[in-house]
Structure 1
Amino acid sequence: MTPLKPWKSFDDQLTGLKARGLHVDDDAAALSYLARIGYYRLSGYWYPLRVIDKAASESAGRPVRLDEFIAGSRFEDVVKLYVFDKKLRLLALDALERIEMAVRVDVAHLLGRQDPCAHENPDCLHGNFSKRLIRNGKDAGKTLHRAWLEKHQQLLHRARREPFVQHHQEAYDGRLPIWVAIEVWDFGQLSKLFAGMRFEDQAVIAARYGATDGRAFANWLRTLNFMRNVAAHHSRMWNINVLEPSPVPEGWPAMPNTRTFFCFCLMQQLLRTICPRSSWGRRLVQLLEQEFPQMPNRAVTLADMGIFEGWNWNGWELWPQK
Structure 2
Amino acid sequence: MTQSDGKNKQYNKPWLSYAEQLNILKSRGLIVTDDSKALEYLQRIGYYRLSGYWFPFRQRSELCCILPSNWTGKKLKNHRIGHIALDEFKPGSCFQNAVELYVFDKQLRLLVMDALERIEVAFRVDISHTLGRYGPFSYLEPERLFQDFAQAINQKTGITDHQVWLQKQAQMINRSKEEFIRHNKEKYGLPLPIWIACEVWDFGTLSTLYDGMSQQDQDEISSRYGISNGRVLASWLRSLNYLRNVCAHHSRLWNRNIVDQPKKPDKGEAPLFNQAWQPGQQHILARVFVLLCVIQHLLNTSNPNSSWWLRLKQLLQKFPDLAHIGLDLKGMGVIDGWEQWSWPQTPKDGQ
TM-score, normalised relative to structure 2: 0.85
1:61 partner SS:
strand
Aligned match of 1:281: 309
For 2:296, give the aligned amino acid: Q
* Structure 1 position 4, deviation (Å): 3.4
1:302 to 329, 332, 347: 329
Aligned match of 1:61: 81
Q: In structure 1, what is the Cα distance between the partners aligned to 2:139 and 2:184?
A: 16
Q: In structure 2, what is the Cα distance between the partners aligned to 1:295 and 1:257?
A: 23
* Structure 1 position 169, deviation (Å): 2.0
For 2:333, give the aligned amino acid: G
* Structure 1 position 54, deviation (Å): 1.6
Aligned match of 1:188: 204
* Structure 1 position 124, deviation (Å): 2.1
Aligned match of 1:16: 24
For 1:50, give the aligned amino acid: R
Aligned match of 2:49: 41
Q: In structure 2, what is the Cα distance between the partners aligned to 1:301 and 1:61?
A: 25
For 2:233, give the aligned amino acid: F
* Structure 1 position 318, deviation (Å): 7.6
User: Which stretch of the first structure deviates more once superposed, 182-191 or 304-313?
Assistant: 304-313
User: Which stretch of the first structure deviates more once superposed, 219-228 or 55-64?
Assistant: 55-64
2:316 partner SS:
helix
**Does structure 1 residue 145 correspond to structure 2 residue 162?**
yes
Give me the identity figure in percent: 47
Q: List aligned pairs for 1:79-94, cutoff 5 A.
A: 79-94=99-114
Q: In structure 1, what is the Cα distance between the partners aligned to 2:323 and 2:302?
A: 40
**Does structure 1 residue 218 correspond to structure 2 residue 234?**
yes
2:82 partner SS:
coil
* Structure 1 position 156, deviation (Å): 1.4
Q: How has the CA–CA distance of structure 1 residues 150 and 83 changed in structure 2, closer, same or farther, with 3 Å as cutoff? A: same
2:291 to 242, 248, 263: 263
Q: In structure 2, what is the Cα distance between the partners aligned to 1:57 and 1:49?
A: 22
For 2:160, give the aligned amino acid: T
Query: Where has structure 1 moved over 4 Å in runs of 4 or more?
Result: 55-60, 315-320
2:133 partner SS:
helix
2:115 partner SS:
helix
For 1:288, give the aligned amino acid: L
Deviations along 1:74-103, one digit per CA (max 9) or x if unpaired, are: 111110000000011011001100000001
**8 Å CA contact 1:99, 1:270 repeated in 2:** yes
Q: Structure 1: give runs of 5+ residues left out of the alignment.
A: none
**8 Å CA contact 1:124, 1:198 repeated in 2:** yes
1:118 to 138, 153, 171: 138
Q: In structure 2, what is the Cα distance between the partners aligned to 1:128 and 1:115?
A: 22
Aligned match of 1:155: 172
1:114 partner SS:
coil
* Structure 1 position 261, deviation (Å): 0.3
1:190 partner SS:
helix
Q: How has the CA–CA distance of structure 1 residues 14 and 318 changed in structure 2, closer, same or farther, with 3 Å as cutoff? A: farther
Q: In structure 1, what is the Cα distance between the partners aligned to 2:295 and 2:185?
A: 36
Q: In structure 2, what is the Cα distance between the partners aligned to 1:98 and 1:34?
A: 35
For 1:85, give the aligned amino acid: D
Q: In structure 2, what is the Cα distance between the partners aligned to 1:295 and 1:12?
A: 26
* Structure 1 position 58, deviation (Å): 8.8
* Structure 1 position 36, deviation (Å): 0.9
For 2:321, give the aligned amino acid: Q
* Structure 1 position 185, deviation (Å): 1.0
**Does structure 1 residue 292 correspond to structure 2 residue 322?**
no
Q: Which has the higher helix share?
A: 1
Alignment length, in residue pairs?
A: 315
**8 Å CA contact 1:191, 1:222 repeated in 2:** yes
Q: How has the CA–CA distance of structure 1 residues 318 and 93 changed in structure 2, closer, same or farther, with 3 Å as cutoff? A: farther
Aligned match of 2:254: 238
Aligned match of 1:201: 217
**8 Å CA contact 1:269, 1:318 repeated in 2:** no
Q: In structure 2, what is the Cα distance between the partners aligned to 1:127 and 1:48?
A: 46
**8 Å CA contact 1:203, 1:214 repeated in 2:** yes
**Does structure 1 residue 100 correspond to structure 2 residue 130?**
no
Q: Structure 2: give runs of 5+ residues left out of the alignment.
A: 1-7, 68-79, 269-273, 347-351
The two structures, once aligned, show a CA RMSD in angstroms of 2.0
